[in-house]
Structure 1
Amino acid sequence: MDTIFYSIAALLSVLCYAAIAWRWSRRSPPLPPGPAGLPLVGSLFSLDPELHTHFASLAKTYGPIFSIKLGTKLVVVITSSAIAKEVLREQDVTFANSNVPAMAHVIAYSSSYIVWTSDGATWRMLRKVCVREMLSKVSLDGVYGLRRREVRATVGHMSENAGKAVDVGAQMFLTMMNVATSTLWGGTVKGEEARSAVGREFRELVAEITELLGQPNLSDFFPRLAWMDLQGIEKKMKKSLMRFDEIFKKIIEQRMEKKGGGDEDFLDFMLRLEKDGGDSKTPFTMTHVKALLMDMVVGGTETVSNTVEWAFAEVMKKPEIMRRVQEELDQVVGKDTIVEESHLPKLPYLGAVVKEVLRLHPALPFLVPHCPSSSSTIAGFTIPQGSRVFVNVWAIHRDPSIWENPLVFKPERFLGLDGSKWDFSGNDFNYFPFGSGRRICAGIAMAERMVGYSMASLLHSFDWELPSGSKLDLAEKFGIVLKKAEPLMAIPTPRLPHLHLYS
């Protein structure tokens, strides 16, 4: 009897142990480590407004992948190139969606932006329309005259203000706005007074939108409270977007009343596509027309103008770099003619300057936040479905284990055999300023051309110096777009021998 009892007890023990082991093996890996935070609010109230540096600091404590609870939302931050590769390449399909912020729903077409549309047929259709008709090499080559006209107008404006301090970022924003709007629907701002006034209004409007997008919004951290809009962010966003909507509505109405004639621009193409209804599976609607206009105006202006402003700040900080760029321009272009985009492939040092600027000052320090469509395992940790995933490319680009003297502005690192491997394709996760995978920036070709062409034209045409008594400040201001904390004011002095080169 005792033998039977002990045998049964032993068998039960083995079965219990097996059940526990089985359950343990079925458990998900743990969440990434991170600060404990407080009940209900997590670490929400301990956030530093400069999130890119704050998260980089937390990574030194918790590791290259950590989690932080913000209200009811879990945020996962990645500061490792190897882990970034897992997310953006090896599990790209799972992480191909972005987390749509609460404010995206304040106006009908906000949630139809390419950046917020879920991976699927509609997103593919929007990206195809955008890239094929506006941002492909053939399309960009076809509207080079528009870019040339606007860059030459900027050179002329700088010439008229020679010897005076000009706001480099503001002027570059206006240039990019005119490039974007003339490419989209043929609209430009003419005349100095109108140029200044309209440019200022557009810049303020775009700045408002990008700043609101970069602000921590309680509605995102506590979705059940979103209807209250406790900070008034959605109300402000709706006001800004409605101003854009009024502009778009007026432009579309005027275009629809046009009786044909002239070359078809991007707006004409979209209106024709909207009239035809797209295809049976993914109809193209007026909502998509407005959303793509907004994408191009907002996404294609401030990012480029900020990059050029950062570039000028860095080369003015090191005048020997500016002189080397100008020497290269003088050798390739000469001083008796003007810069053309066709010169850019022959300007390797200028190209290295652009790459180094985007290393130290990537336009979007967190790229576009990702959102896994299902729970996944990354670097041995569970990333729950619906969490927000930030890839801190700003921190990766300053990682001392990857980059020698990472805080030093050194374009030479992108020259020669070692530097030639760095490009904007997103294939190397030590350097990917435009992202990688499905959600890589659609406007890389346009950005690369405009940053290089603008810098080449302005550095070829002028010497630049700071106003007397001022100091160059490289402090950053965090937002969805990384900005200089203080605008760069600089004085242009013509350096070409012939006046007609400035007309």
Structure 2
Amino acid sequence: MAVTNLDLTRYTFYLTIFVISCFLLRALFARLADSSSSSRLPPSPALSLPVVGHIYLLGSSLPKSFQTLILKTRDAEFSSRFEMGPVQYSIYKQTGFITAPYGHYYRFMKRLCLTRLFAGSQLDQFRRILKEEVERLVRSVLECSGEGRSCDLMGELTTLTNNIVFRMIMSKRYSKFVEEARELRRLVVEIMELGAKLGVSEVFGPLKRYDVFGHGKRLTEAMRRYDGVLEKILRDYEENVDEGGESDLLEMLLGSCGDGNAEVEVTRDHIKHFTFEMLTASIDTTSAALQWAMANLINHRAVFKKLRDEIESVVAPAKLIGESDVPSLPYLQAVTKETLRLHTPTPLIFRECSRDCKVMGYDVKAQTRLLMNVYAIMRDPDTWRDPDAFVPERFLVNSGDGGGQLDQIESRGRDFSYLPFGGGRRGCMGASQASMVMQVVVGALAQCFDWEVNGGGNVDINVGSGFSGAMASPLVCRTITHFDPFK
């Protein structure tokens, strides 16, 4: 037995030496190939280790991990995106809109959204839906306050943003499928939670092909349940054609599905994936940004008081704040802008190079993937004074004690120090609508309620794990009614 153990130890030692030698030789040959090439490649941020590459530089909170890496790009060459998450477990392969290459399908869907979802009668419908959902939110929080219950603000804000998205996508059938909509929302949350449980090494590294802890299998199963619920809704659209009134987005997409004369082939998976992306965005971006806004207001009482004073001086007595009031509320706009600067919905922008080009004198090959760290750009001390402090006044000119006017800093990606909604050809198309939701919701919650953290103190503003930079802990607060607009 002793001899066998000795042999096993010797073989293990030799095998280890052999594997390490292979990696060292591979690294050496790669270095020689690079040195013999005429290309001037961008520098590496640090030493690349065998197998794991640069993964060891990443922490659980990716936006913070990338804070020291700043990139400037050429938008035309870097207008395509790639899927960043655990795509190997997705049941929808290469059908995404947000992550689609900059080609015919992306341009078709973008035009559809701009002309049908965020314009004309649909825009009027958005305003009505926003008003109704904000009123529903306020009534729900009033109920919590009246009963002395804690308010799960994370749950309330997620419900609000999901309802808005669902009603915009399937306005014709929403009232018929309220329960299905709730189930889809629950499944999207479950899918996101399962995706977040997959560590960096399981998404990018050597464990990518192995579902070690079973999270990938459960993620796929949840996506199949989501697919089944949405399929039921789509079949109802096809079996019960409604010829009257304006078409909603699902009806328009189904009309393009299987149409041989359509400009772009839209499959059923395209529709399902697009709906999933819209729902994910409402939870992972708008809802998260609203929670950050309220957390910062609760932690900064002077800012909260200044905001409420502005609202009460502008909005008519006994009236709930509405969209039409926002242009006259510069401090409210500054509060939401500062929230988006500190806690951007898209802390990392994913891009892929479509053709060989030069960036800052370096040669960048086609299909090179890169991450732009917006989180770091909007906390750059060379651009922003006290970059980690919550100071809405930085977005006001002539602020003083009397308020001031809103600084017209561009928020749609043309001012490259402020990129909460991305920029260039792949900037967020719904930026105006998302900003309006934030302003009206934050304004209503500040106008109607006082907020306290359970147990006293401040809100925990630690950033959670994953890609989005959302709050680590759910925002649960005690509310005290200050103003009831329905009395």
Q: Same fold (TM over 0.5)?
A: yes
* Alpha-carbon separation, structure 1, partners of 2:474 and 2:328: 31
Select the residue among 62, 87, 94 that pairs with 1:104: 87
Report the equivalent of 1:15. Answer: none
Seen in structure 2, the aligned counterparts of structure 1 residues 260 and 165 have a Cα distance that, compared at 3 Å, is same
Seen in structure 2, the aligned counterparts of structure 1 residues 372 and 209 have a Cα distance that, compared at 3 Å, is farther
2:345 counterpart of 1:345: no
Select the residue among 450, 454, 460 that pairs with 2:437: 450
Report the equivalent of 1:70. Answer: none
- Superposed CA deviations along residues 442-497 of structure 1, whole A, max 9, x for unmatched, are 2212211111111111111212222234542111114222111112222222222x
Report the equivalent of 2:271. Answer: 289
Seen in structure 2, the aligned counterparts of structure 1 residues 376 and 436 have a Cα distance that, compared at 3 Å, is same
- Over the residues paired in the alignment, what is the CA RMSD in angstroms? 3.0
Question: Which amino acid in 1 is paired with 2:251?
Answer: D
Report the equivalent of 2:228. Answer: 246
Select the residue among 112, 115, 121 that pairs with 1:132: 115
Select the residue among 216, 219, 233 that pairs with 2:200: 216
1:84-163 equivalences under 5 Å are 84=72, 87=73, 91-101=74-84, 103-104=86-87, 106-136=89-119, 139-162=122-145, 163=148
Question: Which amino acid in 2 is paired with 1:27?
Answer: S
Report the equivalent of 2:418. Answer: 431
1:188-207 equivalences under 5 Å are 201-202=186-187, 204-205=189-190, 207=192
* Cα drift, residue 230 of structure 1: 5.2
* Alpha-carbon separation, structure 2, partners of 1:52 and 1:409: 18
Q: Is the 8 A contact 2:191 2:219 kept in 1?
A: no
Structure 1 unaligned regions, length at least 5: 1-22, 60-77
Report the equivalent of 2:356. Answer: 375
TM-score where L is the length of structure 1: 0.80
Q: Is the 8 A contact 1:372 1:386 kept in 2?
A: yes
Q: Is the 8 A contact 1:278 1:284 kept in 2?
A: no
* Cα drift, residue 151 of structure 1: 1.3
* Alpha-carbon separation, structure 1, partners of 2:88 and 2:195: 16
* Alpha-carbon separation, structure 1, partners of 2:318 and 2:291: 27
* Cα drift, residue 198 of structure 1: 5.3
Select the residue among 147, 160, 166 that pairs with 1:175: 160
**Which deviates the most, 404-413 or 333-342?**
333-342
SS in 2 for 1:49: coil
1:480-499 equivalences under 5 Å are 480-496=467-483
Seen in structure 2, the aligned counterparts of structure 1 residues 180 and 24 have a Cα distance that, compared at 3 Å, is closer
Q: Is the 8 A contact 1:371 1:387 kept in 2?
A: yes
Structure 2 unaligned regions, length at least 5: 1-33, 399-404
* Cα drift, residue 147 of structure 1: 1.9
Question: Which amino acid in 1 is paired with 2:159?
Answer: L
Identity of aligned residues (%): 25
Select the residue among 375, 386, 395 that pairs with 2:367: 386
Question: Which amino acid in 1 is paired with 2:429?
Answer: A
* Alpha-carbon separation, structure 1, partners of 2:300 and 2:288: 19
**Which deviates the most, 460-469 or 100-109?**
100-109
Report the equivalent of 1:37. Answer: 48
1:229-240 equivalences under 5 Å are 229=211, 232=214, 234-240=216-222
TM-score where L is the length of structure 2: 0.82
Seen in structure 2, the aligned counterparts of structure 1 residues 117 and 343 have a Cα distance that, compared at 3 Å, is same
Q: Is the 8 A contact 2:85 2:195 kept in 1?
A: no
Report the equivalent of 1:72. Answer: none
- Superposed CA deviations along residues 153-201 of structure 1, whole A, max 9, x for unmatched, are 111000011033212121100111111112211326999xx89985982
* Alpha-carbon separation, structure 1, partners of 2:137 and 2:175: 13
Counting matched residue pairs gives 443
2:8 counterpart of 1:27: no
Q: Is the 8 A contact 2:62 2:467 kept in 1?
A: no
- Superposed CA deviations along residues 34-67 of structure 1, whole A, max 9, x for unmatched, are 21132232232453212222232xx3xxxxxxxx
Q: Is the 8 A contact 2:57 2:65 kept in 1?
A: no
